[in-house]
Amino acid sequence: MFVLIVFANPLYLYALSFFFENEESGGFAVNIIFFIWGIVTPICISVLQVVSVEMFKNAQSLRWYFYPVPIFSLTYGYMAIINIDLITYMVQSEKKDDEKIRDITVWDLDVAGPSYTFLVMSLVFYSLLIINIDLITYMVQSEKKDDEKIRDITVWDLDVAGPSYTFLVMSLVFYSLLVILFEAKFFNTLYNLICLCKLSRNPKN
Protein backbone atom coordinates (compact mmCIF):
# COMPACT_ATOMS: atom_id res chain seq x y z
CA MET A 1 0.00 0.00 0.00
CA PHE A 2 2.80 2.40 0.84
CA VAL A 3 4.44 1.68 -2.53
CA LEU A 4 1.17 2.44 -4.34
CA ILE A 5 0.60 5.72 -2.48
CA VAL A 6 4.06 6.93 -3.53
CA PHE A 7 2.83 6.95 -7.14
CA ALA A 8 -0.91 7.56 -6.68
CA ASN A 9 -0.72 10.58 -4.37
CA PRO A 10 1.42 12.83 -6.64
CA LEU A 11 -0.91 12.07 -9.54
CA TYR A 12 -3.91 12.95 -7.39
CA LEU A 13 -2.33 16.22 -6.24
CA TYR A 14 -1.38 17.15 -9.79
CA ALA A 15 -4.93 16.45 -11.00
CA LEU A 16 -6.28 18.43 -8.04
CA SER A 17 -4.14 21.43 -9.02
CA PHE A 18 -6.27 21.92 -12.14
CA PHE A 19 -9.14 23.02 -9.91
CA PHE A 20 -7.23 26.08 -8.66
CA GLU A 21 -5.73 29.11 -10.36
CA ASN A 22 -3.03 29.89 -7.77
CA GLU A 23 -0.80 27.96 -5.40
CA GLU A 24 -2.12 29.57 -2.21
CA SER A 25 -5.72 28.39 -2.58
CA GLY A 26 -4.55 25.02 -3.89
CA GLY A 27 -2.17 24.49 -0.98
CA PHE A 28 -4.85 25.39 1.56
CA ALA A 29 -7.32 22.98 -0.05
CA VAL A 30 -4.74 20.18 -0.03
CA ASN A 31 -4.08 20.70 3.68
CA ILE A 32 -7.81 20.55 4.42
CA ILE A 33 -8.27 17.41 2.30
CA PHE A 34 -5.32 15.65 3.93
CA PHE A 35 -6.55 16.55 7.41
CA ILE A 36 -10.19 15.52 6.85
CA TRP A 37 -9.76 12.57 4.48
CA GLY A 38 -6.42 11.40 5.82
CA ILE A 39 -6.94 11.71 9.58
CA VAL A 40 -10.46 12.59 10.74
CA THR A 41 -12.57 10.43 8.41
CA PRO A 42 -10.59 7.16 8.73
CA ILE A 43 -10.56 7.46 12.53
CA CYS A 44 -14.31 8.18 12.69
CA ILE A 45 -15.16 5.22 10.45
CA SER A 46 -12.83 2.92 12.38
CA VAL A 47 -14.49 3.93 15.66
CA LEU A 48 -17.98 3.43 14.24
CA GLN A 49 -17.02 -0.08 13.18
CA VAL A 50 -16.56 -1.28 16.76
CA VAL A 51 -19.58 0.41 18.38
CA SER A 52 -22.20 -2.12 17.34
CA VAL A 53 -23.12 -4.46 14.49
CA GLU A 54 -25.57 -1.91 13.08
CA MET A 55 -22.99 0.88 13.18
CA PHE A 56 -20.48 -1.49 11.62
CA LYS A 57 -22.79 -1.93 8.62
CA ASN A 58 -23.23 1.84 8.31
CA ALA A 59 -19.49 2.44 8.54
CA GLN A 60 -18.80 -0.21 5.91
CA SER A 61 -21.21 1.56 3.55
CA LEU A 62 -19.94 5.06 4.36
CA ARG A 63 -16.28 4.31 3.58
CA TRP A 64 -16.95 3.78 -0.14
CA TYR A 65 -17.56 7.52 -0.60
CA PHE A 66 -14.00 8.36 0.44
CA TYR A 67 -11.92 5.70 -1.32
CA PRO A 68 -11.26 7.80 -4.47
CA VAL A 69 -8.97 10.00 -2.33
CA PRO A 70 -5.66 8.07 -2.14
CA ILE A 71 -4.69 9.33 1.32
CA PHE A 72 -7.94 7.93 2.75
CA SER A 73 -7.34 4.57 1.06
CA LEU A 74 -3.90 4.40 2.65
CA THR A 75 -4.89 5.51 6.15
CA TYR A 76 -8.08 3.52 6.39
CA GLY A 77 -6.53 0.43 4.80
CA TYR A 78 -3.64 0.51 7.26
CA MET A 79 -6.01 0.96 10.22
CA ALA A 80 -8.22 -1.87 8.93
CA ILE A 81 -5.22 -4.20 8.79
CA ILE A 82 -4.36 -3.30 12.40
CA ASN A 83 -7.98 -3.85 13.46
CA ILE A 84 -8.48 -7.03 11.43
CA ASP A 85 -9.38 -9.06 14.53
CA LEU A 86 -12.12 -6.59 15.51
CA ILE A 87 -13.45 -6.49 11.94
CA THR A 88 -13.46 -10.29 11.83
CA TYR A 89 -15.46 -10.40 15.05
CA MET A 90 -18.01 -7.86 13.74
CA VAL A 91 -18.39 -9.70 10.43
CA GLN A 92 -18.92 -13.00 12.22
CA SER A 93 -21.44 -11.35 14.55
CA GLU A 94 -23.58 -10.55 11.51
CA LYS A 95 -23.78 -14.20 10.51
CA LYS A 96 -26.67 -16.42 11.46
CA ASP A 97 -26.09 -19.69 13.29
CA ASP A 98 -26.60 -21.79 10.15
CA GLU A 99 -24.34 -19.62 7.96
CA LYS A 100 -20.78 -20.65 7.25
CA ILE A 101 -18.19 -18.33 8.78
CA ARG A 102 -15.59 -17.37 6.19
CA ASP A 103 -11.98 -16.55 6.90
CA ILE A 104 -11.12 -12.85 6.89
CA THR A 105 -7.84 -11.82 5.28
CA VAL A 106 -6.09 -8.53 4.58
CA TRP A 107 -7.37 -8.65 0.98
CA ASP A 108 -10.98 -9.03 2.06
CA LEU A 109 -13.58 -6.43 1.05
CA ASP A 110 -14.22 -5.77 4.73
CA VAL A 111 -10.56 -5.02 5.44
CA ALA A 112 -7.99 -3.53 3.02
CA GLY A 113 -9.08 -5.05 -0.29
CA PRO A 114 -10.88 -1.89 -1.50
CA SER A 115 -7.93 0.28 -0.43
CA TYR A 116 -5.55 -1.65 -2.67
CA THR A 117 -8.10 -1.66 -5.50
CA PHE A 118 -8.75 2.08 -5.39
CA LEU A 119 -5.06 2.92 -5.14
CA VAL A 120 -4.39 0.92 -8.31
CA MET A 121 -7.41 2.50 -10.00
CA SER A 122 -6.15 5.94 -8.95
CA LEU A 123 -2.93 5.35 -10.85
CA VAL A 124 -4.89 4.75 -14.05
CA PHE A 125 -7.70 7.27 -13.57
CA TYR A 126 -5.65 10.29 -12.50
CA SER A 127 -2.98 9.57 -15.14
CA LEU A 128 -5.64 9.60 -17.87
CA LEU A 129 -7.22 12.73 -16.40
CA ILE A 130 -3.90 14.58 -16.35
CA ILE A 131 -3.03 13.53 -19.89
CA ASN A 132 -6.46 14.58 -21.13
CA ILE A 133 -6.36 18.04 -19.51
CA ASP A 134 -2.76 18.64 -20.62
CA LEU A 135 -3.68 17.75 -24.20
CA ILE A 136 -6.67 20.10 -24.12
CA THR A 137 -4.46 22.86 -22.70
CA TYR A 138 -1.91 22.31 -25.43
CA MET A 139 -4.57 22.37 -28.17
CA VAL A 140 -6.15 25.56 -26.81
CA GLN A 141 -2.81 27.33 -26.51
CA SER A 142 -1.79 26.17 -29.99
CA GLU A 143 -4.75 28.07 -31.43
CA LYS A 144 -3.52 31.36 -29.98
CA LYS A 145 -1.59 33.82 -32.07
CA ASP A 146 1.83 35.04 -31.01
CA ASP A 147 0.51 38.39 -29.79
CA GLU A 148 -2.40 36.87 -27.83
CA LYS A 149 -2.14 36.30 -24.12
CA ILE A 150 -2.12 32.61 -23.22
CA ARG A 151 -4.57 31.96 -20.39
CA ASP A 152 -4.32 29.23 -17.80
CA ILE A 153 -6.58 26.24 -18.35
CA THR A 154 -8.40 24.83 -15.31
CA VAL A 155 -10.95 22.08 -14.83
CA TRP A 156 -13.69 24.72 -14.73
CA ASP A 157 -12.76 26.01 -18.19
CA LEU A 158 -15.31 25.84 -21.02
CA ASP A 159 -12.82 23.77 -23.00
CA VAL A 160 -12.53 21.15 -20.24
CA ALA A 161 -15.22 20.20 -17.72
CA GLY A 162 -16.92 23.56 -17.15
CA PRO A 163 -20.00 22.71 -19.25
CA SER A 164 -20.21 19.27 -17.62
CA TYR A 165 -20.35 20.77 -14.12
CA THR A 166 -22.86 23.39 -15.29
CA PHE A 167 -25.22 20.85 -16.83
CA LEU A 168 -24.87 18.49 -13.85
CA VAL A 169 -25.95 21.28 -11.51
CA MET A 170 -28.78 22.25 -13.87
CA SER A 171 -29.86 18.59 -14.03
CA LEU A 172 -29.79 18.36 -10.24
CA VAL A 173 -32.01 21.44 -9.93
CA PHE A 174 -34.34 20.35 -12.73
CA TYR A 175 -34.89 16.79 -11.49
CA SER A 176 -35.21 17.95 -7.89
CA LEU A 177 -37.98 20.32 -8.93
CA LEU A 178 -39.54 17.55 -10.98
CA VAL A 179 -39.60 15.23 -7.99
CA ILE A 180 -41.07 17.97 -5.80
CA LEU A 181 -43.76 18.65 -8.38
CA PHE A 182 -44.65 14.98 -8.63
CA GLU A 183 -44.74 14.62 -4.87
CA ALA A 184 -47.03 17.66 -4.64
CA LYS A 185 -49.28 16.11 -7.28
CA PHE A 186 -48.78 19.21 -9.39
CA PHE A 187 -49.58 17.48 -12.63
CA ASN A 188 -52.76 15.98 -11.23
CA THR A 189 -53.88 19.43 -10.13
CA LEU A 190 -52.96 20.87 -13.52
CA TYR A 191 -54.96 18.15 -15.26
CA ASN A 192 -58.00 18.93 -13.11
CA LEU A 193 -57.73 22.62 -13.99
CA ILE A 194 -57.61 21.79 -17.69
CA CYS A 195 -60.68 19.60 -17.34
CA LEU A 196 -62.51 22.40 -15.55
CA CYS A 197 -61.60 24.82 -18.32
CA LYS A 198 -62.96 22.42 -20.92
CA LEU A 199 -66.18 21.94 -18.98
CA SER A 200 -66.65 25.70 -18.62
CA ARG A 201 -66.32 26.12 -22.40
CA ASN A 202 -68.72 23.23 -23.12
CA PRO A 203 -71.34 23.32 -20.36
CA LYS A 204 -73.73 21.11 -22.33
CA ASN A 205 -71.26 18.21 -22.29
Q: 128 and 175: one domain? A: no
Q: 29 and 119: one domain? A: yes
Over range 11-16, report the average pLDDT: 85
Residue 8 lies in a domain: yes
pLDDT exceeding 70 applies to what percent of the chain?
67
Residue 157 lies in a domain: no
Question: Which residues touch 144 (CB under 8 Å, ≥6 apart)?
Answer: 150
**Chain mean pLDDT for the chain:** 78
**pLDDT exceeds 60 at position 115:** yes
Buried b (16+ CB within 10 A) or exposed e, 154-175: bbebeebbeeeeeeeeeeeeee
Q: 137 and 167: one domain? A: no
- Report the Cα 14 to chain-centroid distance in Å: 18
Q: 183 and 106: one domain? A: no
Q: 7 and 55: one domain? A: yes
Pick from 77, 71, 48, 75: nearest CA to 61: 48
Q: 22 and 76: one domain? A: yes
Q: 193 and 97: one domain? A: no
Q: 80 and 177: one domain? A: no
Q: 138 and 167: one domain? A: no
Total domains in the fold of the chain:
2
pLDDT digits (tens, 9 = 90+) for 149-202: 555 666 666 666 666 667 677 777 766 666 666 555 555 666 666 666 666 666
Start-to-end CA span in the chain (Å):
77
Q: Give the span between the Cα atoms of 155 and 161, in whole angstroms.
A: 5
Higher per-residue confidence, 127 vs 199:
127
Q: 192 and 96: one domain? A: no
| Model pLDDT, residue 170 | 73
Pick from 102, 121, 120: nearest CA to 110: 102
Higher per-residue confidence, 27 vs 200:
27
Residue 153 lies in a domain: no
pTM of the predicted protein model: 0.67
- 73 pLDDT band, cuts 50/70/90, is very high
Q: 8 and 81: one domain? A: yes
Q: 122 and 178: one domain? A: no
- 36 pLDDT band, cuts 50/70/90, is very high
Residue 154 lies in a domain: no
Range of the domain at 116: 2-142
Phi/psi at 111 (5° precision): -115, -110
